[in-house]
Amino acid sequence: MPFDLDSVRARLPGRRIDWYQSIGSTMTLAAQLAREGCESGTVVGADEQTAGIGRQGHRWHSVADAGLYVSIVLRLPIGANDLPVAMLALGLAGQKAIAEAAGMAADLRWPNDVLIGGKKCAGILAQLEGGAILAGIGINVNQAAFPEEIAELATSLRLESGRVISREDLLVELLRAVDEFSANLAEQGPGAILRRFERASSYAAGRRVRVEADGATIEGTTCGLDGSGFLRVREDNGKERTILAGGVRPA
């Protein structure tokens, strides 16, 4: 179904939303708008991405009309050191949007994978550009199947619920939730987001994980986040490691 941008604009008056039928990556255009000084909250979205960017150099599967593919330019009064916490805030926003628009309870896997039934239904990128944070959010909404190479790991809201979910409702809820969690971060500081993330994520503490980081594999049990938003993992020898980046998987 074609995306009904008018219905989104009617519910979010005054919001700049640039929508494309097909685009390489929404990140590229959002970066350009950020450099040109666009307003905070500006959205670039597309029905299809031909070169969707995922974390760690992966492609983001972005077939036409099935998913939600958006980049949001955010100008928040926070320092560059708070980017990891901003990323966690975006995960919380994705989780809340899915609950509000689809009535589904998603889990969060540090730093920013959104999971249902243990499979990934949304992913988030956050990078600095033009003095702003570029939040790239991809949600698998109505895909009926995935390519073989990711089928074991990926799912969609439709596959999990058996219903077609409105991408328009999801975008409205996502932008509201991003506004809410951005305001939380700006007004209450990182601690408020860290506490919420620890409550919202089954991966934050007490979970056996394997982490691929810096060419090494670490296995252990998660034991919360540090004050910067990094994941703490206790190895079986009792040594505690702080994970700055990398892929976390159940062990």
**Chain residues in the site for ligand BTN (CB under 6 A):** 25-27, 49, 52-55, 58, 60, 69-71, 113, 123-125, 136-138
Q: Tokens standing for 198?
A: 């620890």
3-state secondary structure of 148: helix
CB of 127 to ligand BTN, least distance (A): 10
DSSP code at position 71:
E
CB of 182 to ligand BTN, least distance (A): 17
CB of 240 to ligand BTN, least distance (A): 26
- Residue 26 or 201: the one with the smaller Cβ distance to ligand BTN is 26
- Residue 85 or 125: the one with the smaller Cβ distance to ligand BTN is 125
CB of 1 to ligand BTN, least distance (A): 19
Q: Find all residues with CB under 8 Å of 148, minimum gap 6, and list them.
A: none
- Residue 83 or 223: the one with the smaller Cβ distance to ligand BTN is 83
Sign of CA dihedral 82, 87, 88, 89: positive
DSSP code at position 16:
-
- Residue 10 or 153: the one with the smaller Cβ distance to ligand BTN is 153
229 within 8 A of 196, measured Cβ to Cβ: no
Q: Give ∠ CA 89-95-99 in degrees, rounded to 5.
A: 140
When CB distances to ligand BTN are compared, the closest residue is 123
